[in-house]
Amino acid sequence: MRLKGKIALITGGANGIGLATAERFAREGAKIILWDVSAKGNDVVERLKKAGNEAIFNMVSVTNKDEVENGVAEAKAHFGRIDILINNAGITKDRTLLKMSKQEWDDVISVNQTGVFNCTQAVAPIMKDQHYGRIISASSNVAIHGNYGQTNYVATKSAIIGMTKVWALELGRYGITANCIAPGFIQTAMTAAMPEEMRKQSLPHIPLGKWGSPDDIANGYLYLASDEASFVSGICLTIDGGATR
């Protein structure tokens, strides 16, 4: 098992990619700390426990610094350490530039960018003391080539790439790697809400001719969290079926 005995904190873990990642990591021997704003996280943890895995759930909004710090303290008290942080929580509120409200801008920045900052800043001191850690954050391939109607979302996902490179520089001396993943179109509840015409128009731009699954991204997270990636830091791994070339 590639993560045997490792303690993994996964944000946005109740659905989609976060859920697939929690399940994948648990199968690989990790003990799971699941965070989400949805109570569905309780059901996920119960399923993991029934399968023989060790897991805890906290209802935490990554935008709330106090909730994040309290959740990290509770996780540290329960498991004694945190080895892996998966900054997966994210939202979209799409609108063209001329129609986007300040609230739509602020909401997406708050979750997708400030939330990642809050979680990483809270967990990094624990990893520093351990002299070991894996920080992996969710970017997007739209950070690389842009996307119509997503000024706020693209801004946050571009920021994740830059923040990751800074953390690789600052934290490497403490045995901590920092990387991110840039998914393309993935079959989740979030993308299911997209207009069908937009979904169809995306396929010709993907050389593999299909959308990815949450498991495709979970497998990327697994690689970067494993000892196989012990000399990998400061990168953005694109997983999008060849759409970014």
Annotated active-site positions, please? 153
H or E element at residue 7: strand 7-11
CB 34 within 8 A of CB 85: no
Question: Could you tell me which residues come within 8 angstroms of residue 15 by beta carbon, excluding any fewer than 6 positions away?
Answer: 36, 38, 40, 188, 189
| Residue that the structure tokens 């923040």 belong to | 163
> Long-range contacts: 34-40, Cβ < 8 Å, 24+?
34/10, 34/58, 35/9, 35/10, 35/11, 35/59, 35/60, 35/62, 35/71, 35/89, 36/11, 36/12, 36/60, 36/89, 37/61, 38/14, 40/14, 40/15
